[in-house]
Each structure stands twice: as C-alpha cells, then as structure tokens.
Amino acid sequence: MDPFRSKLAAALVKGVEFPPVRPGSAILYLGAASGTTATHVADAVGREATVFAVEKSLRPFQQLLSVAQRYPNLIPLLEDARSPQRYSPWVPRVDLICMDIPQGDQAGILEANLSWFARPGTWVLLAVKLASLPRREGATARWEDVSPEFSRRMEVEDVTPLDPFHRKHVFVRGRVRGGGGGIPPITSRGGNRAG
Ligand SMILES: C[S@@+](CC[C@H](N)C(=O)[O-])C[C@H]1O[C@@H](n2cnc3c(N)ncnc32)[C@H](O)[C@@H]1O
C-alpha cells in the first residue's frame, strides 16, 4: 500500500488501527474510484468478508469492475452515495463503513448511509479533505469546526492529520453509538430499513 496513493495506507503508516473485522463481516466502501484502496480492504478483511464498493463515476468504475474480477469478496456498485436507498437491496447492515468522498456535503452523505446500513457499534473510517468542506470566506479549514456535523451519530475515537502524504486531509476513526463489546458477523443479508 502506497501512503501517497491511499489515504487509508497513509493513516495506517501514521499509526491508525484498522478496526477488528471478523470473517463474515460486511464492509461498505463509499468513493471506491478504481479500487486502489478498496482492493486493499478486500485483502485485509479476508475472503469470508464482503466489501460493497460504491462509485458514481463511470470511468473509474470500469477499472473497479475489472479489478473486482480478481476479488470475489468485492462487489462494485455504480451508484451515487447520496442515494443509499438505490443500493439498499444489495447491502446489509455493515460492520464497517469506509468513506473517501471529498465533497462539501460529505457529512450528509455519511449520515444517509449510516441510516440505511449502520447499527450500534458499526465502525467508521473517513478520509476528510478539509478544504472541500463549507467554511466562512477566508477561514482556515479545521476539523474542529466541522466535527459536530460528523459526530451526530458516531463517537469519534481519533482524528489523524494525513500530512505529509495528503495535505489538508484528516483521517477519522469512529464508531456508531450504542455498540456493546464485540461485533457479531452479519448472517442475514436482507431486510434493510432506514432508521
Ligand atoms: C478521492 S477519490 C477516492 C479514492 C479511493 N478511495 C482510493 O483510495 O483509491 C473520490 C471518489 O469519490 C467518487 N465520488 C464523488 N462523489 C460521489 C458520490 N456522491 N457517490 C459515489 N462516489 C462519489 C469520485 O468519483 C471519486 O472516484
């Protein structure tokens, strides 16, 4: 993994711990692009776990589709992460959500996906490009200013600046509130509901 190409790799190099993901787990990856990092996640979690990789742009998706042929546990979805209801028939409640979508409404996109696919204890790994987030004219982009938007439903465990690998990015590791101890593997694939 190249920390200059992958924000997750940069985070790991900087000491962020990858959440404990067990065989049978489900992972939702939002903003998979051509799969550079999503394939690393698919490797890291093992063939017993499934990674649902959402990408909305056709060009990177074509590459994602191609690499997914070598990863039976990677399911590419050509979808807009702003419309989770569209892919809800295929994605169960998940153990981990990874997100790398540098958009001004990133917090809202996360919230929508948490509503459909998270449950208490779901882990969240976010790459946040601070400069992409709304801020006052001329103000410096700081995590502290946007943190409440991201923290409505999750407990933020750590926030790690990704420089020198990715300037003005932070990597956020959190967990959806209400979780207990371990994360049981998901056994049922159907029946997603908002809430
Ligand atoms: C920084 S790139 C992701 C890089 C990737 N995570 C990696 O490490 O290989 C961001 C990706 O998010 C995608 N994206 C942006 N908005 C999106 C949306 N609303 N839904 C799904 N994907 C989106 C972009 O098309 C782009 O491919």
Q: How many independent structural domains does the chain possess?
A: 1
Task: State which amino acid sits at residue 48.
Answer: E
Q: Give residue 1's pLDDT.
A: 85
Asked if residue 181 belongs to a domain, the reply is no
Specify whether the backbone of 178 is left (phi greater than 0), alpha (psi in -120 to 50) or beta. Answer: left
Ligand 1 nearest-atom number relative to CA 31: 12
Ligand 1 nearest-atom number relative to CA 82: 19
Q: Ligand 1 within 6 A of 76 CB?
A: no
Asked if residue 2 belongs to a domain, the reply is no
Asked if residue 26 belongs to a domain, the reply is yes
Q: Ligand 1 within 6 A of 84 CB?
A: no
Q: Torsion over CA of 191, 113, 127 and 34, rounded to 10 degrees?
A: 70
The whole-angstrom separation of Cα 190 and Cα 133 is 34
Asked if residue 189 belongs to a domain, the reply is no
In the reported structure, the alpha carbon of residue 137 is separated from the centroid of ligand 1 by a whole-number distance in angstroms of 26
Q: Give residue 82's pLDDT.
A: 98
Taking only Cα atoms into account, the Rg of the chain, rounded to an integer number of angstroms, comes to 16
Question: Which range marks the domain in which residue 143 is found?
Answer: 7-176
Phi then psi for 137, rounded to 5 degrees? Answer: -50, 125
Q: Give residue 185's pLDDT.
A: 40
Asked if residue 184 belongs to a domain, the reply is no
If you search the block for the tokens 């029946």, which residue do you land on?
191
Q: Which CATH number belongs to the domain containing residue 79 in this structure?
A: 3.40.50.150
DSSP string, 155-182: EEEEEEE-TTTSTTEEEEEEEETT--SS
Ligand 1 nearest-atom number relative to CA 8: 8
Phi then psi for 146, rounded to 5 degrees? Answer: -105, -10
Segment-wise mean pLDDT, segments of 10 residues, the chain, 195 residues: 95 95 91 97 92 98 97 97 98 97 95 97 96 78 89 95 95 86 41 39
Contacts within 8 Å (CB) and 24+ apart, 129-132: 129/102, 129/166, 129/168, 129/169, 130/168, 130/169, 130/170, 131/168, 132/102, 132/103, 132/104, 132/106
Asked if residue 192 belongs to a domain, the reply is no
Within a 13 Å sphere around the CA of 110, how many CA atoms are in the beta-carbon half? Answer: 31
In the reported structure, the alpha carbon of residue 106 is separated from the centroid of ligand 1 by a whole-number distance in angstroms of 11
Q: For residue 45, how many other CB atoms are within 10 A of its CB?
A: 23
Asked if residue 58 belongs to a domain, the reply is yes
The whole-angstrom separation of Cα 18 and Cα 29 is 14
Q: Ligand 1 within 6 A of 100 CB?
A: yes
Asked if residue 130 belongs to a domain, the reply is yes
SS3 42: helix
Q: Give residue 135's pLDDT.
A: 77
Q: Ligand 1 within 6 A of 55 CB?
A: yes
Q: Give residue 129's pLDDT.
A: 95
- Contacts of 160 by beta carbon, 8 Å cutoff, 6+ apart: 11, 14, 15, 16, 170, 171, 172, 173
